[in-house]
Amino acid sequence: MKNFLFVLCIAGYVVSSCSTQPKQTGMNPFLNEYDTPYSVPPFDKIKNTDYIPAFEAGIRQQLDEIDAIVKLKKKPDFENVIVALDRSGGILRRVSSVFFGINSANTTDSLQAIDKEITPKMTGHSDDIYLNMPLFAKVKDVYEQLETSGLNDEQKKLAEETYKRFMRSGASLSAEDQAKLRVLNEEISMLQLTFGQNLLAETNGFRLHVTDQAQLKGLPQTQVEAAATAARKASEEGWLFTLHNPSVMPFLQFADERLLRKEIFEAYLNRGNNNNDRDNKAVVAKLAAKRLEKANLMGYVCYADYVLENRMAKTPQNVYALLDRIWKPAIHKAKEEAADMQSLINKQLPGSGLEAWDWRYYNEKALKSKFDLDEEMLRPYFRLENVRDGIFYVCNQLYGITFNELTNLPKYHDEAVTFECKDADGTLLGILYMDFFPRPGKRGGAWCGSYRTQTVDTQGKRVAPITTIVCNFTRPSGDAPALLSPDETETFFHEFGHALHNLFKNVTYYGTSGVPRDFVELPSQIMEHWAFEPEVLKVYAKHYQTGEALPAALVEKMEKSGKYGQGFATTEYLAASYLDMDYHILTDASHLDVPAFEKESMDKIGLIRQIPPRYRSTYFNHTMGGGYTAGYYSYIWAEVLDADAFEAFREKGNIFDKATATSFRKNILEPGGIYDAMEMYRNFRSSEPGIDALLRNRGLTE
């Protein structure tokens, strides 16, 4: 792992500091403490021309702070070395959190140009810190005295993690190898940046333009109206469909026109694989080679060995063991589902075989046939604002916290909404931004990030976090409000779990805030369990027109159908997890043919042709863009934890059991990275988790 300041801000988790900074003059808002309510970023005053000067000023400031640590004549100790380093870089924290947050949520050509300019500078700055030998000598001196230091658990963990970061960043390498590492780090960071920018351009570059209304048969009216709105905004006649999920996925799910389903599906599947100036095949091949070269330089056989050393999984073998155990029942279930769909095709299109662009369409037909249920029966009951209030209700029932909308805060986009979160005793927990709908400048998917992380300042006062949830949900259409699909509803609960982790965190230092990548999804995924509990649905799932609660008959159908389709969902996810791992266990990445490698990887596990991996190589931003490199397995690893953890509530006979919720908050959500991840889980559950609850939840038991 590189510098927590830089790498985590790329992933969306680095946050700005509220620590005391020297007052500086000038119009650049990043160079002064924010004079705003709750000290949120002054988005309304930030100009694109502010970023580069602020990054440069921040780099200078942090280098001066580090120089002061190195030159200090006092004996190195925890406070004058470890804490001083942890608190350094205040300006960089401020500008990084805002720039990388906005560049993901609302980018422009100008911001992408800044990203290209600043990425190598930030990578070089990280190396300047972690390859600073006089600084490392002081860090090592403190680390070697830990046993007799009298430090508490958090202080020891900060010192240990600081030392490990230096070691994993090449501090023990020779000067010659450190020079090689600097070059590799810059090359890798720029390749990751290029991959992401290519993907965004490819996603925005495709439009399916329909002018014949007959070709819209099967699509729900809300989707037709949304496509008509998109066409009007583009000054086009007819209807426009894009590769953003709220457009492409319903089209694949409902459109009767099979040839158009094929067209948009193949466009979705071939993003970054079109032999144009946005093609990502060469980027992927170079990334795999450069990452392997870095791992070898650091003394590891493969890049996965290097990455997993600091994760719960520890080794590639442990990851594959988990994936293999779930793969067999998942592919078996997927083949059963394929047979169901083929029987429907035989009736509709005799002689035609099930294809990948048919899967979502006929899965919807199978749900209707087997359970008399389809997504459009449910959407009217999942108005976005009602889902939000349902999440607030769950949080209040579990933890006693409350949310109050604020309208006086600066925002980075007009569509963002802001809330104040208060603890049960009325004290401020933090500020929450939420941004729900897709737009050309927003990257795909959903994520939770931070504009300021929770810490304790130099006066011993808790610094409240500023966290953000960014999604790509279905927009309001016509006279209807934003109506979410069940999948979007579950995603909202998921991202809110990340937000709760940020809001509840109770640590002193920046360096003890983070948790291993394969633990970070536990707080998010456990929240999904409450989304469709009947006790919760009756509170928030109400028809947007009549206010009628979701009928008991539909709730029952949801419960009965909940495990149908898990063969497909689990298989496509696991396939991507295998693909990620296969790239990063390579011991020879020279002459890598990306399409051939991907095919070999999928053939090896027996993936059926009608199911592509959830992310193919050229648009697999989780791993190629960084963040989940050799780590996409983390979702299923964390699901072992979250399925077992939710059992703790069920065992009490109450999904809102206060004692269990309090224990989860205390042992999982508050400690950050102070303790070992499995130790935190055992403190909550009194045992390590098993896989049985996960298999039951997904309907994959024999």
Closest of 19, 140, 131 to residue 86, by C-alpha: 19
CA distance 318 to 314: 7
CA distance 493 to 479: 26
How do beta strands 447-452 and 402-406 pair? unpaired
Q: What is the three-class DSSP state of 354?
A: coil
CA distance 161 to 82: 10
Report yes or no: 166 and 136 within 8 Å, Cβ to Cβ. Answer: yes
CA distance 138 to 401: 43
Closest of 146, 10, 147 to residue 81, by C-alpha: 146
Instruction: Single out the catalytic residue among 202, 364, 495, 528.
Output: 495
Q: Could you give the C-alpha distances from 603 to 121, 598, 600, 612, 613, in angstroms and in order?
A: 41, 9, 5, 11, 11
What is the distance of C-alpha 659 from the center of its chain? Answer: 29
CA distance 85 to 19: 13
CA distance 559 to 340: 20
Report yes or no: 581 and 320 within 8 Å, Cβ to Cβ. Answer: yes
Q: What is the three-class DSSP state of 371?
A: helix
CA distance 75 to 597: 54
Give the distance between the most distant pair of CA atoms in the chain.
Answer: 84
Q: Could you give the C-alpha distances from 131 to 173, 393, 536, 573, in angstroms and in order?
A: 9, 49, 52, 38
> If you search the block for the tokens 């090449």, which residue do you land on?
170
Q: What is the three-class DSSP state of 191?
A: helix
Quick one: tokens of 386? 């009602």
Closest of 127, 4, 108 to residue 63, by C-alpha: 127
Report yes or no: 494 and 524 within 8 Å, Cβ to Cβ. Answer: yes
> If you search the block for the tokens 């000023």, which residue do you land on?
57
Tell me which DSSP letter residue 607 carries.
Answer: -
Establish whether 495 is a catalytic residue.
Answer: yes
Sign, CA dihedral 532-685-467-186, equals: negative
| Helix %, strand %, coil % of the chain (to 5) | 60, 5, 35
- Write phi, then psi, for 435 (nearest 5 degrees): -140, 110
Tell me which DSSP letter residue 542 carries.
Answer: B
Name residue 435's beta-bridge partners.
470
Report yes or no: 519 and 638 within 8 Å, Cβ to Cβ. Answer: yes
> If you search the block for the tokens 């008959």, which residue do you land on?
553
Gyration radius (Cα) of the chain, Å: 25
Tell me which DSSP letter residue 141 carries.
Answer: H
Residues identified as active-site: 495
